[in-house]
Homo-oligomer: A and B are copies of this chain.
Amino acid sequence: MTVTLADVAARARVSPATVSRVLNGNYPVAEATRERVLQAVDELDYVLNGPASSLAAATSDLVGILVNDIADPFFGIMAGAAQSAIGSTASGRAGGEKLAVVCNTGGSPERELMYLTLLQRQRAAAVVLTGGSYESPEHSAATAAKLARLAEAGTRVVLCGRPPVPGDGTAATLAFDNRSGARQLTEHLLSLGHRRIGYITGPDGYTTTRHRLEGHRAALAAAGLDDAPTVHGPYERAAGYEAARELLRRDPDLTAIVGASDTVALGACAALRDLGLSIPGDVSVTGFDDLPFAIDTAPSLTTVRLPLQEAGHRAGLLAMGTEDVPPGTVTTIGAELMVRGSTAAPRG
């Protein structure tokens, strides 16, 4: 029923081996035979059998990109950058391309492991893990073991925006310095004169949540301030919305709010608006597409954003298999900060 390599070989009057060589282009083949084979491929509309190929070659052209939340533009941008860096040619006929696919873990450690197993099962060429990871002894151990298996089976592992896995020495790592990124954000607020700063965290148990909060607190401590009000919640817009209202309920005199992620900050923006606090526009969304800009200012709202897109792009390169980004490279997070009141001065 379906056309096989043998069919192509027969039509081109060559051996299957030769067809394989032409298709993979790793071996010298006479130009004449080459063309004959390609013509037969076209005429028969032959498509390589991936599983068979992967079985024989003991590797596939699948590259998995794991993200915590596919509906979050942050991950969309990361995944897109990685994917476009991997799938080089956009030419019509599929040649030796990798199949870059993104897998949505939803932030669930279980699903993460499941996807890793599924990719291991597929003998994936590479796996890219992005974003923060869940911190627990069991999950860390399980992940480390899984990554080790993948590595020894020949799958390249890349960690992007995620801390190194303890006890793992094989994964290429591009970590974000969440701690100092968050610290800088809060320092910036302090330098503007703010003293009552609310903080909205990410979900409990995640590395990014902890690191960013630590950075924030370090900045406050250095300024001799007690901990400002903090509300916990997932990296979701709705959580940011509720958290902002809760913060203002607790301390109506807050002059600034820091959201631990763009999505959260977005929700906070909406809450401020609904509370009748003047915000002139959808500043935080502006940020989503304007990552190259370090600072985006509006009349009564200031957004500071540390470079993130760059990290995304470099992640893409890494995933491609280039190794010009040394393991352990550190860049900063793309967190977001909001200052209420006029551009620089807190009110009151």
Contacts and interface: CB of A to CB of B under 8 A. Distances in A.
A69 B120 CA distance: 27
Contact of A266 (B101, B272, B285): B285
Interface stretch (A87-95, A180-188, A204-212, A327-335): A87-95
Given A45-B149, A71-B77, A114-B97, A269 B289 contact: no
Interface in A97-123: 97, 99-104, 106, 108, 110-111, 113-115, 117-123
Nearest to A91: B110
A72 interface: yes
Contacts of A104: 79-80, 83-84, 100, 102
A55 B49 contact: yes
A52 B49 contact: no
A121 B53 CA distance: 10
A255 interface: no
Interface residues of A, number: 77
A237 B92 contact: no
A71 B73 contact: yes
A60 to B, nearest CB: 6
A225 interface: no
A163 interface: no
A312 to B, nearest CB: 10
Given A104-B83, A122-B50, A71 B64 contact: no
B270 A64 contact: no
A21 interface: no
Interface string A244-285: 000000000000000000000011011011100001111111
A282 B298 contact: no
A114 B101 contact: no
Contacts of A289: 236-238, 267
A201 to B, nearest CB: 19
A51 interface: yes
A236 B71 CA distance: 16
A45 B283 CA distance: 50
Nearest to A279: B281
A87 B70 CA distance: 14
Contact of A70 (B91, B102, B114): B102
A111 B87 CA distance: 9
A100 B51 CA distance: 17
A48 interface: yes
A286 interface: yes
B114 A90 contact: yes
A274 B115 CA distance: 44
A173 to B, nearest CB: 23
A24 interface: no
A276 to B, nearest CB: 9
A292 to B, nearest CB: 12
Q: Which of A51, A64, A298 has the most B CB atoms < 10 Å from its CB?
A: A51
A90 B110 contact: yes
Contacts of A237: 285, 288-289
Closest 4 CB pairs of A and B: A282-B282, A273-B281, A101-B101, A51-B54
Given A50-B51, A70-B79, A94-B118, 13 more contacts: A48-B121, A51-B51, A51-B53, A70-B83, A70-B102, A80-B104, A93-B117, A102-B102, A274-B281, A279-B280, A279-B282, A282-B284, A285-B285
